[in-house]
Amino acid sequence: MNSPLPPARSASAPAAPVVSRVRVGRLDLCCTDFGGSGPPVLALHGTFGRGTEFARLAADLRGRARVFAPDQRGHGLSDRAADYGRDGFVEDAAGLIERWGRGPVVVLGHSLGGITAYQLAARHPELVVGLVVEDVGPVMRRPEVEHPVLDVRGWPVRAPSRAALAAAIEARGVPDSAYFLRSAHRSADGWRMLFDWSDMTAVQEHGVGDWWADWLGSECPALVLHGARSTLLPRSLAEEMVARRPRTRLVRFPGAGHWVHDDAPEAVAGAVADFLDDVTAP
């Protein structure tokens, strides 16, 4: 049986994040509550990610926000799913906010998590008071995005050591395996990935499409974080997102790529904190 989600903790006494399993529909989702005070923020990672990747951001926002970050379906320590369509991810997020009991919340999403965030705002506006969309647009297809899907079917699942697993992944043409290895776990026979590579290909494939209607389908304030060196969000598309949607602001990070919160952590935290102040001001 699932235990209730933990109550808020004082920002003056930092404590270790609380990890719990939350039943949403037919799935158990692993969720990390980073604690603290301030407006609630649901943080949604991208494909291959985990909720724990927002640890630095949550620490930088301590006293300004309380960040709650799930491993989404098929990722990390959460259950695999029979379906990785957009509806499932959106309803998982809605169910988590309802279980958390602190809505409406600010929803922050990176990459595919950003698509989920703005689709959630369009379909469940009562649950979302503000949007932070990190380096993803309302179009995920060619020619706007050169490589919307990285086919990872058949990639290595386990290896005797973490270094060997990294080398096996990089042998597939990935220059840096660090992001993938956040989902690597030590097991009895070495190191293994916490997700299924075929599932990750399916997740990406279901993210391909034209989502303009969802991006324009909500009215809450929004902040778009754009990595100037990103290969997934062209500058022209980021600017069009802001031009076409009222109450939307764009912040560009000149030295950052697609993982903006890794490349410019302090600047991202500052931009998010300012946005939270505006959204939650009396």
* Mean pLDDT, range 263-275, rounded to an integer: 97
Q: Is the pLDDT of residue 10 over 50?
A: no
Q: What is the pLDDT of residues 115-164, one digit of tens each?
A: 999 999 999 999 999 999 999 999 999 888 888 999 999 999 999 999 99
Q: What is the pLDDT of residues 200-252, one digit of tens each?
A: 999 999 999 999 999 999 999 999 999 999 999 999 999 999 999 999 999 99
- Site of tokens 């270094």: 163
CA atoms within 13 A on the CB side of 165: 22
CA distance 277 to 76: 31
Q: Which fold has domain 18-145+200-280?
A: Rossmann fold (3.40.50)
**CA separation, residue 161 to residues 19, 75, 196 (Å):** 26, 21, 18
* Mean pLDDT, range 166-174, rounded to an integer: 95
* Mean pLDDT, range 185-190, rounded to an integer: 92
**Considering only CA atoms, which of 281, 223, 268 is closest in space to residue 58?**
268
* Domain segments of the chain as ranges: 18-145+200-280, 158-195
In the prediction, which pLDDT does 54 show? Answer: 98
CA distance 33 to 101: 13
Name the CA dihedral angle for 141, 142, 148, 149, rounded to a multiple of 10 degrees. Answer: 110
Tokens of 171: 């042998």
Q: Is the pLDDT of residue 84 over 80?
A: yes
78 neighbors 29 (Cβ within 8 angstroms) = yes
For the beta sheet containing 158-159, the strands, ordered from the edge strand earlier in sequence to the opposite edge, are 158-159, 190-193, 184-187
**Considering only CA atoms, which of 2, 57, 62 is closest in space to residue 259?**
57
Q: Is the pLDDT of residue 48 over 70?
A: yes
In the prediction, which pLDDT does 8 show? Answer: 44
Q: Is the pLDDT of residue 15 over 80?
A: no
CA distance 215 to 218: 7
Query: Is omega for the bond preceding 143 within 30 degrees of 0, making it cis?
Result: yes
* Mean pLDDT, range 55-70, rounded to an integer: 96
For the beta sheet containing 128-134, the strands, ordered from the edge strand earlier in sequence to the opposite edge, are 18-24, 27-33, 66-70, 40-44, 105-110, 128-134, 222-227, 248-253
**CA separation, residue 84 to residues 72, 79, 126, 204 (Å):** 10, 12, 24, 9
